[in-house]
Structure 1
Amino acid sequence: MSRNALSASAARPAASLGGPALTAALPELAAQLAGRRTLVLSGAGISTDSGIPDYRSPERLAKPRHPMRYQQFVASEGARQRYWARSAVGWPRVAAAQPNAAHRALARLEARGVMGVITQNVDGLHQAAGSRRVLELHGSLAAVRCLTCRRVSSRRQLQTRLLALNPELALAARAASASAPDGDAEIPEALWACVRVPACTHCGGVLKPDVVFFGENVPAPRVARAYAMLERAEALLVVGSSLTVFSGYRFVVRAVQTGRPVYILNRGPTRGDDAAALKLEAPLGEALPKLAALLAA
């Protein structure tokens, strides 16, 4: 698809806003959304204020990383040792994360036109904030699936088993100062090379977090559900996503193809900027509560 074909309207220049400047700019967005059934597409940028790092903020791009790919995970026991060791260390911070002001504002907006949220996040914070109509496009870190028997179990239960088999990981988890974007943590190779990884308690198969890894496809029925949500919407609001990954960007493409306006709130450029009827660069923890207040007025 050509750049021109993807443009819903002429792209407007984006400016980083905050304080009085943001307060002055938000009424236009509120006016565009008022009275419209709006579908929200959220990304990692909405959870950074909850202590969960994103992938592509200006700060994160200065320290690029190479996340686990699906093909690596299923093919290599060493890759699975590395993943689960890092996950065991990073999981307590993710499990303890709380919704922030942006999550809570979107939950309030369910009564003001937001008819659902498609989230690319796997942290469960939209639901914790009170949003009821949430589709987790990439799955949830709170669940674990067996690749053999397909049974789903609790990540919290697996954490108990991981630490019982590998007490040294419990010490590392207590000492960890920060999480990585995948809900894991940076640890030295010496700590993960000998890790014992629990197997499925039902069939002995390989356990994988119930999330979509890089290199893995979003299940087709889930994509169909997301498209059905978009079909019922009159506008698409993107919050906290650079739209770099096609699994999220596809909904911007479909919105434009079907004549639905696209609005973007994000820090930094996004792949969909040229398709946006309006784009604001602003901190979400400030912008979304103000937007919610305007739509409630």
Structure 2
Amino acid sequence: MRILTQNIDGLHQRAGSTPRKVLELHGSMREVVCTGCHLRSPTAATLERVAAGEEDPRCTTCGGILKLAVVLFGEHLDPATVAQAEKIAQACQLILAVGSSLRVEPAASLCAVAVNTGARLVIINRDPTPYDDLAVAVVREPIGTALPRITAALAEARTANRPAASR
């Protein structure tokens, strides 16, 4: 299982997902990147410098401007990250689009990439999306109510399908 996310907050990792299984399409606010030499470092270290009185910390290697390592509006996603996401989508059997309007490209088109290579698409979102017609199932409710209900049903089905000796 892989997680392709537009979140930048590390939520999936904090929830227990293995970091190597999470691909953050829009970057991570847990790191800063130098706009000059592209060196990455932990955000916490830069914030410590600010707390110590440094107004605008610069890259310690080249003196360039540091910014959160996230994709801002008007910036393009990292081509290597997009290529990795497309490979993951092409290899999957099931893709769940959870809580997304599926209007932000190129992330949204990963649904079509997966479906075009034989995957089944399930969309869980309160509102309609442009990819609803490609989905084998659409759950039209807020994820805050849908996900607990779905995970409980899956857990119940898993328990019911276990041999009696292992229950």
TM bucket normalised to smaller: 0.7 to 0.9
- Residue 295 in structure 1 maps to residue 161 in structure 2: no
CA distance in 1, matches of 2:47, 2:127: 35
Aligned length: 154
Q: 1:249 aligns with which of 98, 108, 118?
A: 108
1:204-283 → structure 2 map (5 Å cutoff)? 204-283=63-142
Q: Secondary structure at the match of 1:246?
A: coil
Deviation for aligned residue 1:199? 1.2
CA distance in 2, matches of 1:271, 1:209: 31
Q: Larger relative contact order (C-alpha < 8 A, sep ≥ 6)?
A: 1
Q: Aligned AA for 2:110?
A: F
CA distance in 2, matches of 1:267, 1:161: 42
Deviation for aligned residue 1:164? 3.8
Aligned to 1:160: 48
Aligned to 1:203: 62
Q: Aligned AA for 1:126?
A: H
Q: Aligned AA for 1:228?
A: K
Aligned to 2:161: none
Aligned to 1:144: 32
Deviation for aligned residue 1:162? 2.6
Q: Secondary structure at the match of 1:161?
A: helix
Cα distance per residue 1:119-167 (max 9 Å; x no partner): 010010101111121111111001001121221111122222234437x
Aligned to 1:53: none
**Identity of counterpart residues, as a percentage?**
44
Contact 2:58 2:66 in 1 (8 A): yes
Q: 2:9 aligns with which of 123, 128, 146?
A: 123
CA distance in 1, matches of 2:5, 2:85: 10
Cα distance per residue 1:90-136 (max 9 Å; x no partner): xxxxxxxxxxxxxxxxxxxxxxxxx1110010010101111121111
Cα distance per residue 1:46-98 (max 9 Å; x no partner): xxxxxxxxxxxxxxxxxxxxxxxxxxxxxxxxxxxxxxxxxxxxxxxxxxxxx
What RMSD, in angstroms, separates the aligned Cα atoms of the two structures?
A: 1.8
1:68-83 → structure 2 map (5 Å cutoff)? none
Cα distance per residue 1:242-271 (max 9 Å; x no partner): 011112111012123223221111122223
CA distance in 1, matches of 2:76, 2:87: 18
1:170-185 → structure 2 map (5 Å cutoff)? none
1:24-35 → structure 2 map (5 Å cutoff)? none
* Larger helix share, 1 or 2: 1
Q: Aligned AA for 1:117?
A: I
**Bigger mean CA deviation after superposition, 252-261 or 119-128:** 252-261
User: Could you list the runs of 5+ residues in structure 2 that have no partner in the other structure?
Assistant: 159-167
Cα distance per residue 1:261-290 (max 9 Å; x no partner): 211111222232232222112222332232
Q: Secondary structure at the match of 2:106?
A: helix
CA distance in 2, matches of 1:151, 1:235: 36
* TM-score using structure 2 length: 0.83
Deviation for aligned residue 1:294? 2.2
